[in-house]
Chains A and B, each alone.
Chain A
């Protein structure tokens, strides 16, 4: 029996298998599902209720409703990043070598890994939707579909970024350092936790150069579009991103995310393709 020469169908099966492995591992680790929800829940309920009483409501709309889509985005982003961490684990425990010596394209491995991590992240983000009624955010079927679609786009881009970072890092410790110095600043500067209008100049600049900003904003915009948000509340709890005085459309925001994805996907493939 001789193994067939490389065919595209085999690359597709490879992607599917790598993707499936991520899901099997996710399903086997129920504890992780709960522990990774603990942080967003703390933010949502403790920060959300705490700040709401300080900030007060505007025309019946309060801070925790503003915060909710941001926290969903945060959940997706951190799950996606920590799914990518498994590449470092795979390297530490040798499984990466098993994948890298296989007669398949590196890009198929990165696609499978990225889609696997992204699926897991979108699942986690969607689980967060369960808490929407407690916050007073109204869910409709079209809204949930829109949110899931946006979660997928966002998580694919972020997982590709995470795989790139992981491909350049040899040890688990290094990954944690990078995440502390990259992930948390990016999350805090993304507008997930506060409106992006009326900020001091330096903060305005930092939030606008942060690619995550353009991933978080669309999610909030579709959630807001499905709520009754009075104009006076929409002005105070702005969901918009303005760059040089222009309000960005949801499509241009997504365009930034797609470019971000493409850059880091190519860098991730390159990072895994090096021979000593």
Chain B
């Protein structure tokens, strides 16, 4: 998946500069290190995903890039502007969709968009044009005069995405954009995002802890404990963990894990299974069962997916943490005015 219709960001002599450049970025809260030294860059038109569990430092990083938080050390440039010295320029060139809903639900969809358009300095003509356009992009044109309080969670989310695109930002930040939504609505949201990328050529930076959602990115950074533990395309990440993964369920997972590791395999323990990363998984099954020495209750050989990639690099399953994040969001979305 290559970058489509990239938006050139010009600096100096018109050379292309990265949409996001981050170097040695750190953020401490007292003795807690939320972000422990991030370095990466995102090219114009690219879709870039931060994949990691709750508390990995994803939102803190986004807050710094969006000028809502100050880095403790390190540099970050967004759309060519330094986030510390030129926060105003950064803000003018980014669109933001936060985890929590940030609409005024006592206003109509159109009023919410108009509010945003005025604050971002669009003149009357641009305002009309862009409001119509973004409403069309997320297919909410017919609901424009309705109060947001009458919207479902998914519609509100799509309206927020539309709003974030209103001022034609160079970079669109999506912080867990589908959290708390049902699977059908989630896929609708991703359709919208895909439309935006194709039709507006915006660079997209997203965070998620849903594996299947990270798949839509050109590149994924796996982030854990405030550090990037792996960064590559989804395909190459999957390839990097080995050709196959073998999932084993045994009567005694910890004992089986040490036996398998002692035999020289890279293996990790998930919530209810062991995952072994290996070449030629099928031909290794007999060998693995022999190592464990009985007590194997099930074996499953498959091509690695992103869950396996995450387990491979962090030694933990991302799903273990996903539950918490989800219930937190249900609360945040639950009480609407």
Contacts and interface: CB of A to CB of B under 8 A. Distances in A.
A14 B68 contact: no
Given A3-B121, A17-B115, A94 B102 contact: yes
A7 B106 contact: no
Interface string A255-276: 0000000000000000000011
A93 B69 contact: no
Contact of B91 (A7, A90, A95, A103): A103
B121 A10 contact: yes
B88 A103 contact: yes
Contacts of A25: 104, 106-107
Nearest to A95: B104
Interface residues of B, number: 37
B269 interface: no
Given A25-B106, A94-B101, A101 B67 contact: yes
A188 interface: no
B63 interface: yes
Interface in A96-130: 97-104
B118 A14 contact: yes
Contacts of B107: 21, 24-25
B119 A14 contact: yes
Contacts of B70: 275-276
B186 interface: no
A43 interface: no
Contacts of A102: 91, 116, 119-120
Given A25-B106, A28-B106, A93-B337, A17 B119 contact: yes
A31 interface: no
Contacts of B122: 3
A32 to B, nearest CB: 11
A89 B69 CA distance: 21
Given A103-B88, A275-B69, A276-B63, A94 B106 contact: no
Contacts of A177: none
B68 A101 contact: yes
A60 interface: no
A58 B244 CA distance: 98
Interface string A1-27: 111111100100110110001001100
A24 B101 CA distance: 20
Bin the interface of chain A by size: 20 to 34
A89 B336 CA distance: 11
B98 interface: yes
A181 B337 CA distance: 26
A14 B69 CA distance: 23
A180 interface: no
B100 interface: yes
Interface string B116-142: 101111100010001000000000000
A35 interface: no
Contacts of A89: 337
Contacts of B41: none
B69 A97 contact: no
Contacts of B102: 93-95, 97-98
A11 B111 CA distance: 18
A3 B69 CA distance: 23
B98 A97 contact: yes
B167 interface: yes
B120 A103 contact: yes
A91 to B, nearest CB: 10
Nearest to A100: B68
A2 to B, nearest CB: 8
A94 B68 contact: no
A151 to B, nearest CB: 25
A25 B108 CA distance: 11
B66 interface: yes
B92 A3 contact: yes
A171 to B, nearest CB: 13
B106 A29 contact: yes
Interface in B85-101: 88-89, 91-93, 96, 98, 100-101
B119 A99 contact: yes
Contacts of A95: 102-104
Contacts of A93: 100-102, 104-105, 336-337
A7 B121 contact: yes
B5 interface: no
Contacts of B100: 93-94, 97
B249 interface: no
Interface string B37-68: 00000000000000000000000000100111
Contacts of B101: 93-94
A13 B69 CA distance: 27
Interface in B161-211: 163, 167-168
Given A29-B106, A276-B69, 14 more contacts: A3-B93, A6-B121, A17-B114, A17-B115, A21-B107, A21-B115, A93-B100, A95-B103, A97-B100, A100-B68, A101-B91, A102-B120, A275-B68, A275-B69
5 contacts: A25-B106, A93-B336, A101-B91, A275-B68, A276-B69
Interface of A: 1-7, 10, 13-14, 16-17, 21, 24-25, 28-29, 89-90, 93-95, 97-104, 275-276
